A and B are shown apart, each in its own frame.
Chain A
Amino acid sequence: DAGITQSPRHKVTETGTPVTLRCHQTENHRYMYWYRQDPGHGLRLIHYSYGVKDTDKGEVSDGYSVSRSKTEDFLLTLESATSSQTSVYFCAINRDNTEAFFGQGTRLTVV
């Protein structure tokens, strides 16, 4: 257990509404990541952060933004949710640039 908590765990939202997912870590790791998992695509990187206020885009960043105002929190925002963003979202940390640990996941459904 690497002290990673995601919230909410499940969410159903309507198309066009903004949604924010939260990732909280308790171990002061520098690197944090947001992935999405979809059938047939595995886990793909959305955005990542290498420190407070330092973030960058991943492979599938369109339609998403992130913020990291504190070391322990990494927020993922869907500015205007679409059905294609229905997915399971995982937050991850990178311990000492070696082993990665994942949060429990957030199942998001956009209707």
Chain B
Amino acid sequence: GIQVEQSPPDLILQEGANSTLRCNFSDSVNNLQWFHQNPWGQLINLFYIPSGTKQNGRLSATTVATERYSLLYISSSQTTDSGVYFCADYGGSQGNLIFGKGTKLSVKP
């Protein structure tokens, strides 16, 4: 099945800094999504982005499906951005999402 690799695994930022998170896929990208798991454990949908670029406030994402990767950009980071960021795509035999191991982001005040 599809393999999903995320980098970096951990990231510590000072408030106000920018960052780029990466997601690589072993197979073709179909329905790529980015999620934020906040410190309370909730999985929040950030982007559904099978291809192209989308922006939502300080966050934007780009997926280059032909090269099997996606990038999540966080600008002017805030402490509330802390948590774990996951990318995922449908690749399981049951039509389920396959997740990367996540990038744990800590934003310091």
Contact = CB atoms under 8 A, between A and B. Distances in A.
A48 B94 contact: yes
Contacts, number: 50
B57 interface: no
A42 B35 CA distance: 13
B68 interface: no
Classify the secondary structure of A's interface with B: strand
A29 interface: no
Given A105-B42, A105-B43, A98 B96 contact: no
* Chain B contact patch, size range: 10 to 19
A3 interface: no
Interface string B37-50: 00001110100100
Contact of A31 (B31, B42, B45, B95): B95
Contacts of A48: 94-96
Interface of A: 31, 33, 35, 42-43, 45, 48, 56, 58-59, 88, 90, 92, 94, 97-102, 104-105, 107
Interface of B: 31, 33, 35, 41-43, 45, 48, 86, 88, 92, 94-97, 99-102
